[in-house]
Amino acid sequence: MSTAVLDKRPTGLPRVSQRYFPVLATLLLLVLMYLFGTFQYEGFASGQGVANLFIDNSYLIVVAVGMTFVILTGGIDLSVGAVVGLSTMVASTLLEDRGWSALLVIPVVLLIGCTLGGLMGAVIHYYEIQPFIVTLAGMFLARGLCYVISTDSQSITDGLYSDIALKTIPLGGGVVITYSVIVALAAVLVAYMVLHYTRLGRNVYAMGGSKQSAMLMGLPVARTTIAVYTISGFCAALGGILFSFYALSGSPNTAIGLELDAIAAVVIGGTLLIGGSGFVLGSVIGVLVLGLIQTIITFANLESYFTRITIGLLLFAFILLQRLVFARRSPGS
């Protein structure tokens, strides 16, 4: 797969590679939406407003990062929303009912997410079951475990946990961000490095291009499959921790439908549902687009269901765009 953004034609004129069209379209959409909000609504373009876009969606950014790995291989993970909910329940229960330290709770929650993801990846590969079915079962399992722990929401009052959640980092000009934003951006940076500069990343793209070809080339398909679902489980658990920072509570009903938001963000961000092409930075832009839609609808005093309608229309549009762009790939694109 070519990694150059620009390639040279006989005319000597640079041309943008086709696989960059969807993510560039998403970036253009984000800019246009921001300009629309800026000119339409007073106070929309404040520095803190932009920071809040990252603060409010930090957990979704992390979940979308994990989903990007999975979709790049041609798979899907429907369990991430339930794992986010389970993570908040485990964290709140261990902190409040068991009196565990936050420094111990966080690694335990992350280990649970990795274990669930790794098990699903192993079942998908070794038993050759469709990811949709396996992760659907994982979704029901994780959500069911939420209700086994408790059917009620539980506030988190632990001192260290609350300090991490509420402490802000000043950026100047009265703009502040939370530690959750730093964690989310760090996750994006690590994911970018892994996908573009490691053997695992090359294997992920190769599997998405053609799993059979990857196997014939001797690539570690089993290890890669388990790895991407483990990464997705880790990101879902980390997203759950960030959500518990955001809400300072755990609830069995947390993040219902979040997996659909993550998938929508990844697809709108330019990653092909069939795998093999996409960028983790595009997924971040996709999350920001979803967040900006919600912000505009809030400023416009519209009902919340308009968010879903708008996201649905955008998703259709980007799926059609992907079909048009990648239906006929020219050599070198």
pLDDT at residue 2, rounded to an integer? 45
**pTM value?**
0.92
Q: Which of 162, 134, 126, 181 minimizes the C-alpha distance to 249?
A: 162
- At 128-180, the pLDDT tens digits run 999 999 999 999 999 999 999 999 999 999 999 999 999 999 998 899 999 99
Instruction: Give the model confidence (pLDDT) of 99-130 as tens digits.
Output: 999 999 999 999 999 999 999 999 999 999 99
Q: Say yes or no to pLDDT of 11 above 60.
A: no
Q: Where are the domains of the chain?
A: 55-255
**Which among 72, 232, 9 is positioned nearest to 138, based on CA atoms?**
232
* Beta strands 14-16 and 168-172, pairing class: unpaired
Q: Assess whether pLDDT exceeds 70 at residue 317.
A: yes
pLDDT of 38 > 60? The answer is yes
Percent of the chain scoring above 70 in pLDDT: 92
* Nearest Cα residue to 244 out of 98, 76, 93: 93
pLDDT tens-digit map of 257-291:
999 999 999 999 999 888 888 999 999 999 999 99
Copy the structure tokens of residue 3: 């990694």
Provide the pLDDT confidence category of residue 15 given band limits of 50, 70 and 90: low
Q: Is the pLDDT of residue 241 over 60?
A: yes
**CA within 13 Å, CB half, 23:** 19
